[in-house]
Structure 1
Amino acid sequence: MIVFDLSCSEGHQFEGWFGSSDDFSEQKAAGLLSCPQCGCAQIGKAPMAPSVPAKGNARTIERTETTQMATGEMPAAVKQALETLAKAQAKALESSTWVGDKFAEKAREMHYGEADEAPIHGRATRDEAEDMVAEGIAVAPLLVPVAPPEELN
């Protein structure tokens, strides 16, 4: 598959996925392409920046769930919304017990009646979370990162 940045004659830009460059040309010639915003059929490839791979000796940053990169100041409204969200989450967690990496195990025990139900929070892998949802266990991600109690001063 190949991804092209496309634009219509009205100036709207969007992506298009094609099997090959020829596939794009054939669909355009057959009139099968249209702008998803305005329906215009005059579609062309938008200028694209080339993908330049990093040099072999260049240092890379491994992106993880906790890695964050930003440029500039955060807008005040976004900052306020995040602070409000963090306070609401902290309030909800006051009555919850940290179970660490045993989250999936403890949630299953409660779901299947092997333990009394109680609010808990902890860590689960994506696969564990998807499996719990498939089993009908009510789980939700924490929207603001939480430091485990053993890591707090």
Structure 2
Amino acid sequence: MAALQPPEVPAQKLQKIGAVAARLGVSVKTIRFYCDQGLLQPSGRSEGHYRLFDKSVDSDLALIRTLRGLELPLPTIKAVLEARRSGMCTCDNLQATIRGKAGEIEQRIVDLQSLHAELNGLLSTWQRCGGRPAQVSAGI
């Protein structure tokens, strides 16, 4: 039995990696990295072996950027993208992951607020140590 081939996409609808990078505001290096990690999939290659992408790269890259902003690891992002491409709903898993990340952020906020209060307390009780004031150089 022959392997299923993806439908042909007209060449004029595909863009080289540089055009995609410029249009989406990311570097070519970033797109190559995501391709090498299996997060992005080129639709094909040009005669000069350039990666070619269709418009689906826009939504994939937007999701990658969002999930990276949440500091999710690349393997998790890859699993989300693969599930989305296959049509399998992973809403519950993704929501649980995002809830967990939101909890981590809330804890970091609490920790930073505590550190902020501690530093302000230190400053409010600060006493001069009796040292000499810093000398300002005449040439500056």
Q: TM-score, normalised by structure 1?
A: 0.24
TM-score (norm 2): 0.26
**Would you tell me which structure has more strand in proportion to its own residues?**
1
Q: Which has the higher helix share?
A: 2
